[in-house]
Amino acid sequence: MLLHTEILGDGDPIVFIHTGLQTGMTDFEEQREYFRSLFKVILPDLRGHGKSSSSELSNYYEDSAADLKDTLNHLGVESAHVVGCSIGALVGLFLAKRFPKKVKTLTLSGMMTEKPPNWSEIHKNMVEQQSKLLENEQVGAYFDQLHGEGWREFIHLAKQEDSYPFEETGDLDELKMPTLLMVGEENEDEAKGAVNVPRLNKKIHVSVIPFAGHLVHSDQPEVYNRILNGFLGKYSLVGVNNK
């Protein structure tokens, strides 16, 4: 399916893939303003989010990667710099693995590369937090307005303990494009596994951001922007933005 997509600016295309229960226009707000003067900023709503309604969410990462590939083709984008966080990082990773020609560079954050030994406990806590969203009428009304009914099915998908694709996030050897993995030092489960990644694949660079957790781009936007800017400056036709 084609994804509802907003486009800002002009130049070398860069795609920002939002986190779960956000949209292209409610996430990566600081980043899109920072980069829109030099890049064509592409902001899709993933399936089941925003204006990209879909009743089929079961094979989420595979289908979302295909959605993104089809959307880029529809927009006439042969390849793009791809940036994602959390759910967006997982979709970006699937896109890079399944359709590598579409990805010039790959920037991931909010992603675990190793399955924590206490994953069952972590997952249980996540499910409990998400269940509270379903019970809160005000929160429910907000997300209904933002996403329609699809977001409730999206929440249910995460209840399965094997819903996180560790078999994919733990296998980064095949990535051929320059890749940047950014993690917040306060999220131990994400930071711990990231340290070993460059030893397995020289195309991957790792940056550990202080005073940040799962949502690095929101917790430390200025630091995130400058690191991403420096990374893109090595591989973009437009050069480094000196902001």
CATH superfamily of 5-117+165-233: Alpha/Beta hydrolase fold, catalytic domain (3.40.50.1820)
**Sign of the C-alpha dihedral, residues 111, 196, 123, 217?**
negative
DSSP per-residue string spanning 170-235: T--TT--S-EEEEEETT-HHHHHHHTTHHHH-TTEEEEEETT--S-HHHHSHHHHHHHHHHHHHTT
Question: What does the domain layout of the chain look like in residue ranges?
Answer: 5-117+165-233
From 126, 61, 141, 124, select the one nearest 98 (Cα to Cα).
61
pLDDT at site 238 = 54
In terms of pLDDT, which residue wins out, 55 or 104? 104
Over 70: is that where the pLDDT of 243 sits? no
- Mean pLDDT of the chain, nearest integer: 92
- Band of the pLDDT at 104, cuts 50, 70, 90? very high
- Pairing status of strand 5-8 against strand 39-44: antiparallel
Express each pLDDT in 131-180 by its tens digit: 888 888 898 899 999 998 778 888 888 888 889 999 999 999 989 999 99
In the predicted model, what is the mean pLDDT of residues 65-83? Answer: 98
In the predicted model, what is the mean pLDDT of residues 219-239? Answer: 88
Over 80: is that where the pLDDT of 114 sits? yes
62: left (phi over 0), alpha (psi -120 to 50) or beta: alpha
- Band of the pLDDT at 237, cuts 50, 70, 90? low
In terms of pLDDT, which residue wins out, 195 or 183? 183
Q: What percent of the chain has pLDDT over 70?
A: 97
pLDDT at site 130 = 84
Which residue in the block uniquely carries the two structure tokens 């994804």? 3
